[in-house]
Amino acid sequence: MQPELSYQEFETAKLVERKLRSLGISVRAKVGGTGVVGLLKGSQKGNVVALRADMDALPVTENVNVPFKSKREGVMHACGHDTHVAMLLGAAMLLSKHRDELHGQVKFLFQPAEEYGGRGGAKPMIDDGAMKNPKVDYVFGLHISGTDPSNVFALRSGPIMAAPDTFKIRIIGKGGHGSSPHDTVDPVFVSAQVVTALQGVTSRMIDQREPFVISVCSIHAGTKDNIIPDEALLEGTIRTFDEKTRVRAKKYVSSVTKSVSRAFKAKAEVNFKENEYPVTVNDPSVTTKVMQILRTIDETRTVVCKPIMGAEDFSRFLQKAPGTFYFLGTLNAKKGCTNTNHSSKFKVDESVLKYGSLSLAKLAYEFGKSNAVG
């Protein structure tokens, strides 16, 4: 009911800290800003396993009538990060009750700012030592999914989520009266040609066998119906699963935009957001074992999903330790849980949360053993 936007998760972090301490778990707060790291030591030697949940909400007005509806105007947990926190706290409760049977140590990573993009929240936590002291051997992340049926775990080996690259294009023309376009360099007209031409990057310049998306999602220009403006601003995103394709795609977006603009006597400035998330890559051998473990959970089903063009900050944790990112479905028409993540009507089937907590606890327990992966 009290969702908080990226880098503003102050009360959420305090709640997490209190709950972890009540379970006898040591806590380090303000990690990378508002992040929280809990550490639970088992009674037997073994590996260090990290479990991650993101905490931030989205700038969306909630349009679902539930008992826990957001009390903050214009902010809601439209991507289910509140359920991620709940499931990881549930896993912490389970593991703390069975610490005498636990091998190694478990790190609980409560991360801010996954929705922010660019710098995000994983990198600041990593820079602040979240994956060290003790060094993490395996890392796992769970995300609720509005497109998979309730009680279904979905995952795959290798690349599972794309790298995002956000671009801004400024087309500079020469404004004037709408009745005399020949006396102007119309940036609105040039923008239309650029949007069309950029689709040629997808269909004619990048290998069709490479998963690749380019979308221009925003165009802003002008102030009145009879005034041709001086410039237009376009914003969009590129999604790729391969670093070479990523580099080529950015190069082509820039060159095509500038060439088309120049052909119509306009100038173009193309800028890409720095430090965007890398591709989320699941370790194959780890993921094979994860699937085996998930299939032991009664009343659930585990499936291999297709690559997803969305992006994930968890990718940075996977660059520091082998692990797996996986999904838990919450699509349930009988309960009115039919809208996708990021929708103002997103609603979670709460009955699945116990399976999420159990899955995280089982992964920590099994991968804590010294011979976890042969």
Domain limits, the chain? 10-161+279-368, 163-272
Per-residue pLDDT, averaged over 242-261, amounts to: 94
Residue 22 CB neighbours (<10 A): 11
Would you state the pLDDT for residue 208? 78
Q: Which amino acid is at 199?
A: Q
Instruction: Give Rg (Cα) of the chain.
Output: 23
**Domain spanning 10-161+279-368 has what CATH number?**
3.40.630.10
Query: Three-state DSSP class for 214?
Result: strand
Q: Which amino acid is at 82?
A: D
Kindly name the residue from 210, 235, 269, 350 that is annotated as catalytic.
Answer: 350
DSSP 325: E
Considering only the top CATH level, what class is 163-272?
alpha beta
User: What letters, b where the CB count within 10 A reaches 16 and e where it falls short, cover 117-144?
Assistant: bebbbbbbbbebebbeeeebbbbbbbbb
Strand pairing report for 158-161 and 280-282:
antiparallel
Confidence label for 207 from pLDDT (cuts 50, 70 and 90): confident
The answer, yes or no, to whether residue 224 has pLDDT greater than 70, is: yes
Distance CA 159, CA 277 (A): 13
Could you confirm whether 350 is annotated as catalytic? Answer: yes
Query: Three-state DSSP class for 113?
Result: coil
Distance CA 273, CA 201 (A): 19
Q: What is the pTM (predicted TM-score) of this model?
A: 0.91
| Residue pLDDT, tens place only, 19-78 | 999 999 999 999 999 999 999 999 999 999 999 999 999 999 999 999 999 999 999 999
The answer, yes or no, to whether residue 343 has pLDDT greater than 80, is: yes
Residue 225 CB neighbours (<10 A): 6
Would you state the pLDDT for residue 374? 66
DSSP 112: -
Residue 76 CB neighbours (<10 A): 23
Kindly name the residue from 277, 326, 355, 365 that is annotated as catalytic.
Answer: 277
